[in-house]
Chains A and B, each alone.
Chain A
Amino acid sequence: MFEASLEWLLNTAGKDPNAAFGGSVPFLMLTGNLAAAWQLGRSILAASAKLEQGEDTGFMTRKIATAVFYAQHILVECGAENLRITEGSASLGDAALNL
């Protein structure tokens, strides 16, 4: 999702800056979402290693469960942001705001 949006923005910004920058906030929210998920992914790896050592198992189990919830309930929103960026620019440009 991130790479699809990134390539679209890199290809579009030069010829149609309005279309690219119309997607700038969706792109930031997609990237922020992914970056947070990335760090929670690293948290799963660290917490799993601690679990194997039997360290603070209650906390580590909760840490992993929260990260998995994030992936399945919040990270999935990246798909919608990607569609807004890559498919939504035409309707943004055409929308009648009585300008």
Chain B
Amino acid sequence: MTYQAPIRDIMFNIEHLPPTPEAGAAGGGIELEDVGAALEALGRFCSDIVAPLSRVGDEAGARLDGTEAVLPEAYTQAYAQFAEMGWQSLPHPEEFGGMGLPRAAAAAATEILNASDLSFGLCPLLTDGAVEALLLTGSDAQKQKYLERMISGQWSGTMNLTEPQAGSDLGRVRCKAEPAADGTYAVSGTKIFITYGEHGLTENIIHLVLARTPNAPAGPKGLSLFIVPKFLVEEDGTLGRRNAVTCVSLEHKLGVRASPTAVLEYDGATGFLVGEENRGLEYMFVMMRAARFAVGVQGVAVSERACQHALQYAQERVQSRPVDGSTKDAAPIIRHPDVQRMLLRMRALTEGGRALAIATAGWLDLAKQGYTDAEDMAEFLVPLVKAFCTERSLEVTSLGVQVHGGMGFIEETGVAQFYRDARILPIYEGTTAIQANDLLGRKVLRDGGATARRFAGMVQETEQALQGGQCSGAGRGKAAGRGVPDV
């Protein structure tokens, strides 16, 4: 079966869940209908072009040909169409050719794209993060040079943090950056686990690299951020010489196999400092916040995909008479109570994750508009989106296999791939434990629990509204109080 973007539910979320109307579509002066139309068009593109890639990509994977990463040909064609249609530009500012849609709509677009194929979705996801980092920390000249063609999808972006000895602990980064007389830096060292670190989908790749200048302090406060393009960009915008960054291998992985995960060797590559020296980690956190949020959305995405497959299978697969004796013959398995329980659990976790993600997108937009309270709340919610939605995606995709019974274990049905693809989500962009330490250490303990108590207060307001009968029909009675634990 193919994937159908859940536009109705997404639009319900965008309309109702951002914390204020200004944080939703209204803030950008954009009509809800226009957001809906854009997402529907993206949904059609994803159903027709992107979703069929996932099987092909899983089977063939990305492979290294010399020093070039090669993806299945269908990916190259699909990416060209993706860029041509302007989908990369959706959330980015109009100043640089973007559509300027609010983040709730952008989150929905990220979900739709990644539900179609996580491997494909990763390339735009990393570009979004790099664009965000350059928008906030790049110089005007750097923005002029790189942003327009990244936002158009012509060039992609990467984040280069990890080294063999520096995983979660970035203070151990050793990659060096030697200043040259012309103001550039010569970047040398090995970076690993670089998603889309090398590929031929775009004509250039803009690497954002953490490295140390010669007299930098040890530890995390001695890291600087550099732009290292695969091809240097001339003053007139044309592509110049190939930079000294080489892909030396690609990882063989459990899932997202078409996404090239590169080991990159920097050998005196020309780099351009972003912002000030030794503030690289701080800048990288900008990109990481965007990427962590987006990875949480990937969790919702793969969950939705698993739900759709499981539901269809349960409607078609006929086994056993219902326990209530309502039919004489065997019935579709969706008639059996435990299959219903599994499907509802999958559906509820997916809709809960989507609701959390879209509400958080609204808080992120409010934070961008300068509300300090919203900034604190967004910081509190992002690790939840990242870790909760991705951990739960493992449960949802596992249940998706279970609903299929023995067939779920056979690759042919495609649902085993969702389970394998999802497994990276609670790991990359900061493991669940890293998110949990961030939540507890930085977002809860640091302000003595003030933001956490404000969060609890808002949850209680909603609870009181539910109990106070501000809902009707099926909502009243059923939702009010009964079985709903207190905060």
Contact = CB atoms under 8 A, between A and B. Distances in A.
A88 interface: no
Interface string A1-41: 11100110110010000001100110111011111111111
B432 A25 contact: yes
Interface stretch (B179-187, B263-271, B465-473): B465-473
Contacts of B471: 44-45, 47-49, 64
A36 B296 CA distance: 13
B330 interface: no
Given A1-B486, A45-B466, A68-B478, A74 B440 contact: no
B476 interface: yes
B475 A48 contact: yes
B479 A24 contact: no
A61 B12 CA distance: 13
Given A10-B445, A48-B472, A71 B483 contact: yes
A33 B358 CA distance: 15
B444 interface: yes
A6 B16 contact: no
A17 B187 CA distance: 39
Interface residues of A, number: 55
B383 A39 contact: no
A6 B449 contact: yes
Query: Majority SS of interface residues in chain A?
Result: helix
A1 B487 contact: yes
Nearest to A56: B8
B487 to A, nearest CB: 5
Given A2-B456, A2-B459, A3-B456, A36 B436 contact: no
Interface stretch (B142-150, B341-349, B364-372, B413-421): B341-349
Nearest to A72: B483
Interface string B430-449: 00110111011100110011
Contact of A73 (B348, B351, B356, B358): B348
Interface of B: 8-9, 12-13, 15-17, 341, 344-345, 347-349, 351-353, 355-356, 358-359, 381, 383-385, 387-389, 391, 432-433, 435-437, 439-441, 444-445, 448-449, 452-453, 455-456, 458-459, 462-463, 465-466, 470-476, 478-479, 483-487
Interface of A: 1-3, 6-7, 9-10, 13, 20-21, 24-25, 27-29, 31-49, 51-52, 56, 59, 61, 63-76, 78-79
